[in-house]
Amino acid sequence: MRLVDTSDLWWKNAVIYCVDVAKYLDDDGDGTGDLSGLSRRLDYLAELGVSCLWLMPIYTSPKQDNGYDVADFYGIDPKLGTHGDVVELIRTAEDRGIRVIVDLVVNHTSDQHPWFKSARRSKDSPFRDFYVWRDEPPEDSRESMFPDQEDGVWEWDERTEQYYLHSFYRHQPDLNAGNPRVQEELSKVMGFWLQLGVSGFRVDAVPSLVSSPLRRDPKRDHDVLRSLREFAQRRSSDAALIGEVNLPYEEQVEYFGEAGEGELHMQFDFPGNQALYLALARRDPSALRHMLGRRPEVDVQSQWANFIRNHDELTLDQLSDAERQEVFEAFAPDEHQRVFDRGIRRRLPPMLGGDPRWVRMVYSLLFSLPGTPVLFYGEEIGMGEHLDIDERDAVRTPMQWDGDEFRAGFSTARPRRFPLPLAEGPWSPRHVNVEDQLFDEDSLFSFVAMLARTYRQSAEIGWGAFEALDCDAPSVLAHSCATASRRFVALHSFSDEAVTVQVSIVGEPEGSVLTDLADGTKIDLVEGRVAFDLLPYGARRFRVSRPGDGRLR
């Protein structure tokens, strides 16, 4: 039997917070958020209950794709700060019990990266095979990730008279990850950032990194992930790789790797996220319940990451055409609220009509599903989008720290120097900001902080197995997360009407008690059944206390 040191598996019960540094807080007054500004807000993140800070790309970049077009994997965008600022951020975060991870963008580089500049100068360049070149595009070429922006994934290079592969934009040529020299260079990049003190990486666009246009052996296609994980864990035993793998479960699970040959430690649950929005559109949790029941069991060292929104579009590509249309009609009825024919470019509160009951139910669910919750900056205060901004940038507006309509406490510079405009209308800083919510016990911020705190106190959510519980109300998702010694129970109503529900919680000894994690209310569990009154969009979260277990809750 393989023994696992669970003390290193910090990601199993983390609360992860994603930050676009340029949009968070400007410390030097130039109009762009920076690393020193983020450092000033670490106490705020600690108050929220964050235990892991995920930095979106901070590398040197032409900024044609929000920093995901990397020109130097070792450099820092000078507008964001210096390497000294990174080290100070990591040290200060560590003092507050917060780890830091960074984006690892290794599917492609910018066309301004020195490797590609050399590669396109000559076919004899030592960096030529760092990228994928063809005399003619293959007939079975895959579709671009941005079909409304790019006609295909092959771009003609006039100087060397060949096509190069780009799964994303044409200014982002794909790296040839199957090349051992490329893998060696990527390992050096990881080693550099681990030496600076990061605790891991969010690995961008993993399927595009792994899939090979050379049609190699599928098992070998995953060699690059295995080599990256092996290297990371040689350098730091508790380093984590968190992967963006938007695939159906049966394909996605392969990216965890086989026992003894690990790949990613954690993956974002895209199928569950899309099923959640279908359930919200129908006001019926059946689609989500069904998807969670299909979620594969994974090795103890692996984990699912749950999220409501991220920095990209809300992708619905795994739903059927009819299901996707249902979600569009419910939450993005206007065409300009959609993008790439597959997603929605809105944040959650506007999609739900600003109904605070509905919004809170969804975030309660986020912190109740088995796995690790991930927040996108601004979710904790209910920020909205700015639909006049193009494409996915609509959800990437500057953080709203106070009620100043023009600057929102984000910067002292003139608003025209901001990287993007502030949100407007009912979601403007006047109506949604940190200052108003921070000390308000009834605010969304305080509610999310409570959820984070009780999640961290309930290890069974991160470690336990999902079980759908029998209940007599179709609009209610009742489930538990259980380990051998602990059990967490949650109920979430998807209905806008009050409901009384009978729930079956079997297998607990006589005398067991349900303790409400929000207010400490105790309910006796009699003969394995209990009745609950739920308000419209009501949510309740409990820990099972067994006779003699000695726990306060």
With residue 251 as reference, give the H or E element that holds it.
helix 249-252
- CA-nearest of 14, 65, 63 to 169 is 65
Report phi then psi at 429, rounded to 5. Answer: -55, -30
> What type of residue is 129?
D
Respond yes or no: is residue 402 known to be catalytic: no
> What type of residue is 553?
R
CA-angle at 359, arms to 358 and 365, nearest 5°: 90
CA-angle at 157, arms to 341 and 211, nearest 5°: 50
Is 315 among the domain residues?
yes
Is 419 among the domain residues?
yes
Whether residue 144 sits in one domain with residue 83? no
Beta bridge partners of 422: none
Q: What is the CATH number of the domain that holds 481?
A: 2.60.40.1180
User: Which residues, at least 6 apart from 82, have a Cβ–Cβ distance to it below 8 Å?
Assistant: 35, 76
Whether residue 472 sits in one domain with residue 404? no
Whether residue 83 sits in one domain with residue 33? yes
- Catalytic residue, from 27, 65, 111, 204: name it: 204
Whether residue 296 sits in one domain with residue 411? yes
Whether residue 50 sits in one domain with residue 139? no
Is residue 125 within 8 A of residue 224, CB to CB? The reply is no
Q: Identify the domain boundary among 453, 474, 495.
A: 453
Taking the C-alpha atoms of residue 200 and residue 428, their distance in angstroms, rounded to an integer, is 34
Query: Sign of the C-alpha dihedral, residues 135, 141, 143, 144?
Result: negative
Is 406 among the domain residues?
yes
Is 308 among the domain residues?
yes
Whether residue 257 sits in one domain with residue 229? yes
- CA-nearest of 303, 271, 278 to 14 is 303
- Catalytic residue, from 244, 323, 460, 467: name it: 244
Q: pLDDT 10s digit of each residue in the chain, 553 long?
A: 344 455 679 999 999 999 999 999 999 999 999 999 999 999 999 999 999 999 999 999 999 999 999 999 999 999 999 999 999 999 999 999 999 999 999 899 999 999 999 999 999 999 999 999 999 988 766 777 787 777 889 999 999 999 999 999 999 999 998 899 999 999 999 999 999 999 999 999 898 887 765 545 555 678 889 999 999 999 998 999 999 999 999 999 999 987 656 899 999 999 999 999 999 999 999 999 999 999 999 988 899 999 999 999 999 999 999 999 999 999 999 999 999 889 999 999 999 999 999 999 999 999 999 999 999 999 999 999 999 999 999 999 999 999 999 999 999 999 999 999 999 999 999 999 999 999 999 999 999 999 999 999 999 999 999 999 999 999 999 999 999 889 999 999 999 999 999 999 988 888 889 999 998 999 988 888 899 999 999 999 999 988 866 554 4
Is residue 388 within 8 A of residue 15, CB to CB? The reply is no
Query: Would you tell me the crossing angle of helices 223-235 and 180-196 to the nearest 10 degrees?
Result: 30
Whether residue 475 sits in one domain with residue 448? no
Whether residue 91 sits in one domain with residue 17? yes
Q: Identify the domain boundary among 453, 481, 504.
A: 453
What is the Rg, in whole angstroms, of the alpha carbon atoms belonging to the chain?
A: 24
- Conformation bin of residue 260: beta by default, left when phi > 0, alpha when psi is -120 to 50: left
Report phi then psi at 19, rounded to 5. Answer: -125, 130
Q: Is 212 buried (19+), middle (13-18) or exposed (0-12) by CB count in 10 A?
A: middle
Is residue 522 within 8 A of residue 512, CB to CB? The reply is no
162-165 vs 200-203, strand pairing mode: unpaired
Tell me the three-class secondary structure of 113-167, residue by residue: CHHHHHHCCCCCCCCHHHECEECCCCCCCCCCCCCCCCCCCEEEECCCCEEEECC
Q: Identify the domain boundary among 453, 478, 498.
A: 453
Range of the domain at 508: 464-545
Is residue 90 within 8 A of residue 198, CB to CB? The reply is yes
Respond yes or no: is residue 313 known to be catalytic: no
Query: Tell me, what's the pLDDT at 215?
Result: 43
Whether residue 306 sits in one domain with residue 220? yes
Q: What is the CATH number of the domain that holds 447?
A: 3.20.20.80
The length of the chain is: 553
Q: What are the C-alpha distances in Å from 387 to residues 43, 66, 227, 281, 334? A: 31, 17, 41, 21, 11
Residue 394 half-sphere exposure toward CB, CA atoms < 13 A: 24
The SS3 of residue 315 is strand
Q: What is the CATH number of the domain that holds 138?
A: 3.90.400.10
The SS3 of residue 47 is helix
Q: How far apart are the first and last CA of the chain?
A: 33
> Number of folded domains in the chain?
3
Report phi then psi at 243, rounded to 5. Answer: -105, 140
Is 141 among the domain residues?
yes
Beta bridge partners of 52: 16, 99
Tokens 């917060």, residue located: 98
Query: Tell me, what's the pLDDT at 14?
Result: 97
CA-angle at 17, arms to 369 and 367, nearest 5°: 20
Whether residue 133 sits in one domain with residue 23? no
Whether residue 469 sits in one domain with residue 447? no
Whether residue 538 sits in one domain with residue 449? no
